[in-house]
Amino acid sequence: MFASCTDPSTLDGLNWLACYLTTGKHVLFYKSFIVVLTLLAVTAPIALGVGFLGAMAARSKVAPLRWFGTLYTSMVRGVPDIVFFLFVPLAMDQGFEWTRHKILCPDWSEPIRQGNDFLVCSAAKLPLGSAPQAVHEFYGFILAVIAFSIVFGAFAANVLSGAMSAVPRAQMETAEAYGMSPRQSFWRILVPQMWIYALPGLSNLWMILIKATPLLFLLGVEDIVYWARELGGAKTSHFDYPHPDWRLWYFLGLLVFYLAFTKVSEIVLDRLTTRLSRGQATVAGEQMRKAT
């Protein structure tokens, strides 16, 4: 990156380290932190929305919806996360390509599945072989977001369903006595009050989501774990900046990053809990009322 870094053989000490830490690959390593944070920022609200719909379906009076909601939460929670993270992107990718293949290449005579191979015409590939590398990375990121949202949406659905059941029945009966319809009672009474009961479970789910981000590495996304392994491994003379095996230090840096991020999350969640507890008939709410 710097003019003085053009000849690594002339560098030593801190100058060598400064040049080493500013190479193109290290810039990609730093950008991968943004990828992880973006995944969390995008996945969390989507998973919460999926979970809310799943909880509503599981509590629905319509039998097919109730069966679907129960099946969704039970099936996804019962399957190991890593299996789902590997299955969902692969199944969706092949499903998209199979659909495009049927539309764009109707004259294709060869079977799509040939043993263990899944072969479609070049026009049906996603992304296209001629697409820029950024498009391939974005496509993989979108598949990862969908996989994470489906898995954590099932856990969120279970948490939200329990929170809805925890709202005192007397609150709903009072709403009915005032002439509110079931829809009005749900949106004006049940939903605003359920969050304080759901927050402990959602907080744990957020922490688990943070811990699950290294699974991006298994989905082919070049995340911080991927670059830590690549940059920390011992280099040969083929590389401009050879060094011993430094993976321990790179992964130690990731440890510090995750610990710091979870600590910040704990502070934010604690403040959110305090805010939501005001005026609620909970232990924390009663303590706040007595304190005032």
Domain coordinates in residue numbering, the chain: 17-291
Helix, strand, or coil (residue 114): strand
pLDDT tens by residue, 23-45: 878 888 889 899 899 999 999 99
Distance CA 40, CA 264 (A): 14
pLDDT tens by residue, 203-223: 999 999 998 888 887 777 788
Distance CA 191, CA 185 (A): 9
Distance CA 43, CA 49 (A): 10
pLDDT tens by residue, 126-159: 777 677 877 878 888 888 888 889 889 989 999 9
Mean pLDDT of 64-84: 83
Phi, psi of 113 (to 5 degrees): -95, 115
Lowest mean pLDDT of 29-38, 68-77, 250-259, name the range. 68-77
Contacts of 150 (CB under 8 A, 6+ apart): 50, 76, 84, 88
Amino acid 292: pLDDT: 58
- Partners of 114 in the β-ladder: 117
Provide the 10 A C-beta neighbour count for residue 112: 17
Helix, strand, or coil (residue 166): helix
pLDDT tens by residue, 5-29: 766 666 677 777 887 788 878 888 8
Amino acid 7: pLDDT: 65
User: For all residues of the chain together, what is the average pLDDT?
Assistant: 82
Range 17-291: architecture per CATH: Orthogonal Bundle (1.10)
**Confidence at 3, pLDDT banded by 50, 70, 90:** low
Provide the 10 A C-beta neighbour count for residue 141: 20
pLDDT tens by residue, 103-130: 888 887 777 877 777 778 888 787 776 7
Q: Tell me the C-alpha to C-alpha distance, in Å, between residue 203 and each of 29, 126, 207, 272.
A: 28, 36, 6, 10
